Chains A and B, each alone.
Chain A
Amino acid sequence: MKKISLISLFCLTVALGYKFYQVNNKVMDDSWETFSNKTPKKEKTISWPSTKTELKFVKNPNKQKRKPSSLSSNLPKVITLDGRELIGKSKTPAKNLKWSNKFNPNWKKVLGNKLLRFQKHTTKVLVKRNKSVIQVKNDRGRLMEHVTVSYLLGGDDISSFTAWVDSETGDLIRTWNKTIKEPIGHEKPSMTPTGTL
């Protein structure tokens, strides 16, 4: 009994220690994660590491880094702070920046909830963090995540985009790269005014 208690205590300590390490070292989770509403009433969003089937559409299996070329390149030097790339310009040294937000280790889950907020409960959305950055403007820094978002819409239909996301609130700051479709003969989405003012 004593042994079991000791082992349990050890496991708990290790788990807590790992969690503490994760939060404080802002471990960046680069894996794809799938989000879905648990019930039709959408009381709770659940998530899991994306399955192989879910990933086949979005993941590139032949990841290849740039190779050195025979010509010199003019790529700008990447400046980082705490493992995050700095984007934008500031006269203030990076270490002296004031912060307009703070890192939330659950930003991805918060984002998943927001992405599913107005979706059918059967909808699944995949989210992947590509990189983390600090957007600097004047003397302020904002923590942001660069993500790819893909809604699985049934069959081989998807709807994707890439975005900057606030690392604290999970808000979409800026989006681009939306799917371009050729909906032949499909009824166009339309809206009916309820009246005029």
Chain B
Amino acid sequence: MICFGMVISTLLFSSSCVTDSANSSRKSQGAVSNSPSSVGPGEGRVLQDNPIVASGNANLPHDTSLVTYLQREPVKIIDSQFLTSTCGTSVTSSGLANINDCVKVSQNKNATQFNSPTSKWAYPVGTTEFLQVNTFYHIQKGMTLHHDNMKGLYNHTWGAVDFPQPFSSYDTAMPKFVWSNKGHWKLDPDNQTLKAFADCDLNNNAYYDPATFSLCFGYDQVFKEVKFAQDDTVIYHELGHALNDIMLNVRNKSAALTEATSLGYFFYDEAGSLGEGLADFASYIIELRTMFGEWALGRFNVAARPMSEREPIHVAGLAPNEDSRLLYPTYLTYDPNDPASVNEDIHYAGQIISHYLVALAEDFESQCSMSKQVAANYVMKIVMEAMAELGDLTSQGGDTRAVGYINHSAAHAHDWIRHIKPITYRSFSQSLAKYTMRLMGNPTLNLCNGTVYNRDRLEKLIDSYGLLLFRSYNEVGNAVGSVRTSETQVTPTNRLKSTLAPKELLIFDPRENASKAFVFDGRADMLNALESMTDISISSQIDGDLKFNNGNAKISPGELVGLSLNLYNNSNSTMSGIQVLANDWDHVKWEDTVNPKPYKQGKFCNNFGDEFPIIAEGGADSSTEGGSSAGECKYITRQNGDEANEQLAPVCMVQINETNSTKWALQEELRLKLSLEASNCLGGSTSTQDCFIRAVKGADSSWFSKIDPQETWGNTLATSSGVPQFNFSNIIFFEVSPWIPPGTTFNCRFRARFVNCEDCYEEKISGKYDEFLDYEFSGGKPFQVVNFQFTVID
């Protein structure tokens, strides 16, 4: 039956009387007849750019016949009968990098892939076949350029793909065996084919799904004939997400790891915004145009995005010069389509990095006397290096580097990348800067056409975007024992626009009658949140219908509660990328380390700047500690709690009333006092230290895009109604045990920091700045420790 249908379709489309226009067989306004007979085998016609650009008409009507904007000359599509390609063929003639069936395009999930018996790929533009051909062509184009750039980078580092040299030309993150291990593609057991659905049943949306390695392009909600796959920039953007995924995991795939790194884990975080900006840049590198999505997003949804300050969509005052760039963090919440609004959204926050990358390419173009395309390619190669290093779950970050160079260790790298030390504008800019110097500033490679790209010039450009947030290049890495005085230092006088503030200025709102936290305990709201947050597990102690959630703005037994700390920026500059962590950390001195783990007894350390709890209230005495022995308060675990005498502790402690005093204690102590069966703990019998109050894993940190000086996030992001719009990533979720006696008081000891912080990431040693070592992020040193107390009330 399917074959019969295909034959009929083929006959219909083979007919020379079939044309693009629905009602006419005539060419109009220079339109071409787009029938199979008008092209040769393996050829077809596509929209080379989106209809707005092709027409030059920013107000192009939704029902315009797009045939007018087809490229007259046919282009190569594929010689086979299906839109399924092999990739990597341009890398080497030996076939080493080839991935068979690496891309396959079809209409949607329910459709069988159509075939063209003659391998002629010209179809009327209103058909789903055309959309599939258009999608296939642009994906092929983007993917081929990507692999060519990857090969180019490999040539700079390891030499010829088939005959790499024993040592790399410079300290690179690119793995030597990337091709033979197929690290240039996503080779999960069931996922080596990128499935692209060109004509999805998906309104006002498109997506990249890394778990199933698929792309899906929808349609405009109002004008359903407007398809996202008609806009090549949207195709490149979604493909860009797939390529981000591949770049970020190039070392992980080369090491055959099952786990992968994601660029962003929350509704809003800086890694997610970098991912969106990089996906926009994926469109730039092919089109060499600095606008994205004019047709699918811009024309009918007012959601196009620029990538250069010279685009007229921008507000007045922005320009491509050092004083008028799209400055971080000022423009983190800026929507050029609605400049008056304040929008905490990863797509708009990502504009800063896309603008920076375009500006860097333009600077290469002028300083190194190269073409726009070549300059953009070099920027992409630098991005590839940065991504390979930052996403590395083996923790080496390069073949010749030691374990622990980045992301702590293989055992804990995922947690580091996810929330303990995530990829941010700071870490990404620092890594980009390092590899810019290793490539374009490397006289041996001579990539800048006889000159060397200048470090001062680079730092000034980074600073013009407010991104010179680091003071060393961190070439040595963050492993325990690494030499900490040999890092290349950023020239301080180059930092004019990038602002840094000390962590101690991030505090609770000090103003009169100000609250410490917003509470979310409404049943309907929490159920909606859980429906969306599909990748978290909730304790079986919490009722499946959240019947205990009473919406009284108190924390009550049996509830699932959200908390958003009301933090205040007490500095005179904007704070950005504020993060509050509620995951377990090293803040307890264990007293029963002669017994096997998990340790049950211990006291909370009070040496993290908060001086809490005092010894008389149950705090540990660390006055005689030397700080060199595991188990001490002054000793931070090197293995995130895995070594002997060390164990992490949950953030929340409980107040226990004794005959003549009260003290702060581990939750296990309350459980023993109440004689509660361990199996009734939120995490079951194996997790008794968070028996009563537990931050939900996966929802145990919150993000805030920015806080204005002398303000709270709520006031910074306030909408026209005067209140901010909270999203899931602004809230930490807690399970509250139904077994808690009402009246019990808890203290949760959060760790907070922000991205443009002067003492959250680095310190001065012997007159030179260097990054904290990764293990230090298991403790309190890189953070502002904030204590939040509440009493559970029925």
Contact flags A52-74 to B (C-beta < 8 A → 1, else 0)? 01001111111110100111111
- List A167-197 residues whose CB lies under 8 Å from chain B: 169, 171-172, 174-186, 188-197
Bound state CA distance, A118 and B537, in angstroms? 10
Q: A60-B190, A130-B190, A137-B411 are in contact. Are A148 and B212 (CB under 8 A)?
A: yes
CB distance from A14 to the nearest CB of B (A): 32
| A120 interface hit (Cβ, 8 Å) | yes
Cross-interface CB contact of B202 among A60, A63, A155, cutoff 8 Å: A155
B182-A66 in contact (CB<8A): yes
A180-B207 in contact (CB<8A): yes
A130-B531 in contact (CB<8A): no
B267-A189 in contact (CB<8A): yes
* Interface residue count on the A side (C-beta < 8 Å): 78
B414-A174 in contact (CB<8A): yes
Bound state CA distance, A179 and B533, in angstroms? 12
Bound state CA distance, A189 and B256, in angstroms? 36
A172-B201 in contact (CB<8A): no
CB distance from B177 to the nearest CB of A (A): 5
| B16 interface hit (Cβ, 8 Å) | no
- List A51-99 residues whose CB lies under 8 Å from chain B: 53, 56-64, 66, 69-76, 78, 87-89
B265-A156 in contact (CB<8A): no
Q: A131-B258, A195-B519 are in contact. Are A148 and B531 (CB under 8 A)?
A: no
- List B177-226 residues whose CB lies under 8 Å from chain A: 177, 179-182, 187-193, 195, 197, 200-214, 216, 218, 221
Bound state CA distance, A14 and B622, in angstroms? 66
CB distance from A109 to the nearest CB of B (A): 15
User: Which of chain B's residues have a CB closer than 8 A to the CB of A188?
Assistant: 345, 725, 727
B536-A178 in contact (CB<8A): no
CB distance from B201 to the nearest CB of A (A): 4
A59-B190 in contact (CB<8A): yes
CB distance from A56 to the nearest CB of B (A): 4
Bound state CA distance, A62 and B259, in angstroms? 22
CB distance from A162 to the nearest CB of B (A): 5
Residue of A nearest to B411 (CB): A88
| B167 interface hit (Cβ, 8 Å) | no
Residue of A nearest to B111 (CB): A56
CB distance from A104 to the nearest CB of B (A): 14
A156-B197 in contact (CB<8A): yes
User: Which of chain A's residues have a CB closer than 8 A to the CB of B303?
Assistant: 184-185
User: Which of chain A's residues have a CB closer than 8 A to the CB of B192?
Assistant: 60, 62-64
Bound state CA distance, A185 and B296, in angstroms? 12
User: Which of chain A's residues have a CB closer than 8 A to the CB of B255?
Assistant: 75-76
Chain B, interface SS category = loop
A75-B262 in contact (CB<8A): no
Residue of B nearest to A68 (CB): B180
User: Which of chain B's residues have a CB closer than 8 A to the CB of A134?
Assistant: none
CB distance from B409 to the nearest CB of A (A): 10
Bound state CA distance, A146 and B213, in angstroms? 16
User: Which of chain B's residues have a CB closer than 8 A to the CB of A76?
Assistant: 255-256
Chain A, interface SS category = loop
Cross-interface CB contact of B562 among A60, A75, A186, A191, cutoff 8 Å: A191
Bound state CA distance, A156 and B196, in angstroms? 12
Cross-interface CB contact of B538 among A118, A149, A192, A193, cutoff 8 Å: A118
Contact flags B401-421 to A (C-beta < 8 A → 1, else 0)? 000000000110010000000
- List B654-689 residues whose CB lies under 8 Å from chain A: 684, 686
Bound state CA distance, A117 and B540, in angstroms? 10
| B137 interface hit (Cβ, 8 Å) | no
User: Which of chain B's residues have a CB closer than 8 A to the CB of A160?
Assistant: 209-212
CB distance from A191 to the nearest CB of B (A): 5
A148-B110 in contact (CB<8A): no
User: Which of chain A's residues have a CB closer than 8 A to the CB of B731?
Assistant: 191
Residue of B nearest to A62 (CB): B101
| B715 interface hit (Cβ, 8 Å) | no
User: Which of chain B's residues have a CB closer than 8 A to the CB of A191?
Assistant: 520, 525, 528-529, 562, 726-728, 731
| A106 interface hit (Cβ, 8 Å) | no
| A39 interface hit (Cβ, 8 Å) | no
Most buried by A among B179, B211, B214, B260: B211
Q: A87-B258, A137-B411, A176-B260 are in contact. Are A190 and B726 (CB under 8 A)?
A: yes
| B553 interface hit (Cβ, 8 Å) | yes
- List B538-591 residues whose CB lies under 8 Å from chain A: 538, 544, 551-555, 562-564, 566
| B162 interface hit (Cβ, 8 Å) | yes
A176-B259 in contact (CB<8A): yes
Residue of A nearest to B521 (CB): A194
Cross-interface CB contact of B205 among A56, A75, A164, A184, cutoff 8 Å: A184
Bound state CA distance, A39 and B731, in angstroms? 31
CB distance from B233 to the nearest CB of A (A): 12
Contact flags B99-132 to A (C-beta < 8 A → 1, else 0)? 0110010001110000000000000000000000
B531-A150 in contact (CB<8A): no
CB distance from B216 to the nearest CB of A (A): 6
Bound state CA distance, A60 and B211, in angstroms? 11
B200-A156 in contact (CB<8A): yes
B259-A75 in contact (CB<8A): no
CB distance from A108 to the nearest CB of B (A): 15
| B170 interface hit (Cβ, 8 Å) | no
A181-B205 in contact (CB<8A): yes
| B485 interface hit (Cβ, 8 Å) | no
| B94 interface hit (Cβ, 8 Å) | yes
Bound state CA distance, A193 and B517, in angstroms? 10
B204-A183 in contact (CB<8A): yes
| B315 interface hit (Cβ, 8 Å) | no
Additional A-B contact list (19), CB under 8 Å, known A71-B177, A194-B521: A62-B104, A63-B189, A69-B96, A76-B255, A76-B256, A117-B538, A119-B534, A130-B188, A158-B209, A175-B698, A176-B260, A178-B211, A182-B205, A182-B237, A184-B297, A190-B727, A191-B726, A191-B731, A197-B555
In the assembled complex, 14 residue pairs joining A and B whose CB atoms fall closer than 8 Å, in A order, are A56-B110, A58-B211, A58-B212, A131-B189, A133-B258, A148-B212, A156-B202, A156-B216, A162-B210, A174-B414, A176-B262, A184-B301, A195-B519, A197-B515
The 7 closest A-B pairs by CB, nearest first: A195-B553, A196-B515, A118-B530, A155-B201, A160-B211, A193-B518, A57-B109
